Amino acid sequence: MRAPATILLLWLGLANAASPPQRILETVVPALEYGPACSSTITLRNLADRPMVVEVEGHRSDGALAPFEDRPGMRLKLAAGESAALRLRIEDSETDAWVRVREPLDEDGPPRIAVSGSTACQAGNQLREVSRRAAYPLHSPWYSEDAGRRTEGAVILLVNAAPKPARARLCASAAGYYTAARKGGEVEYRPVCSSESDVQIPPFGARRFALADYPGSLRLRTSGDAIVLQMLRPLDEANHVFVVDSTIRFGEEVAPKP
């Protein structure tokens, strides 16, 4: 008597297992500043011809959740063509808050939510506004540069968008390399580090690394599932505002060959 029910439950289990998981696009807007002289805004615009529901999630630099002004919860519904401007409710000073937008994608469909951000800071009688570029988390991205290419006053911003700790290793080299054998007979050239840093970033935390603290050539390697790296350069030293240096390219860690 129980066989039909058992077969039905088994069929339902196989049908659920065969259905593909829903694709989610995660977009991060980092380097959001708040305080007595600064405020930041996130803008979302629905480019689709139908309503869209997305999840928005704000964090402080230490990883703690930050609520949005005048908006309870994390779900946001946008009508076709509608735009929304969001601000985090942060009353004290914060330089590296960030927001994540999670958009469900149709099967084989493109994204439909345009995400952007901006920060405005007042210095004296001037109000300087800079854009905040949207970024997409990568698995263990890396960065390296020679000392001659360095931008004066620049910093590297790292955001750990994963729910577990990440790691960043920085190596500053005055000169010299050594060779290290890799699997498959490949040879890797590694710099001789004159100064090193090994930093752990908490879940959903953000850290800045001033390039002036690492003279010579710099090599930065990260370990984490969802990390955003951005190069920020000062817009004007008098105003203490940073903009994204779009000429910088970050790499993603290549998995070793089997």
Q: What is residue 87's predicted lDDT score, i.e. its pLDDT?
A: 96
Q: What is residue 135's predicted lDDT score, i.e. its pLDDT?
A: 95
Q: How far apart are CA 76 and CA 239, in angstroms?
A: 34
Task: Tell me: pLDDT of 146 over 70.
Answer: yes
Q: What is residue 238's predicted lDDT score, i.e. its pLDDT?
A: 47
> Which of the listed ranges 35-49, 170-184, 205-219 does the model predict with the highest average pLDDT?
35-49
Mean pLDDT throughout 183-199? 75
Asked if residue 246 lies in contact with residue 236, where contact means CB atoms within 8 angstroms, the answer is: no
Q: Domains in the chain, ordered, with CATH?
A: 23-132 (2.60.290), 141-252 (no CATH)
CA-based nearest residue to 74, from 100, 108, 112, 41: 100
Element (H, E) at 17: helix 3-18
pLDDT band, very low/low/confident/very high, at 258 (cuts 50, 70, 90): low
Q: What is the pLDDT of residues 11-66, one digit of tens each?
A: 555 555 555 567 899 999 999 999 999 999 999 999 999 999 999 999 999 999 99
The count of other CB atoms within 10 Å of the CB of residue 81 is 10
Q: Would you state the structure tokens that stand for residue 37, as one six-digit string?
A: 């002289």
Q: What is residue 42's predicted lDDT score, i.e. its pLDDT?
A: 97
Task: Tell me: pLDDT of 68 over 60.
Answer: yes
pLDDT band, very low/low/confident/very high, at 114 (cuts 50, 70, 90): very high
**pTM for the structure as a whole:** 0.80
Q: What is the mean pLDDT of the chain?
A: 85
pLDDT band, very low/low/confident/very high, at 252 (cuts 50, 70, 90): confident
Q: How far apart are CA 11 and CA 151, in angstroms?
A: 61
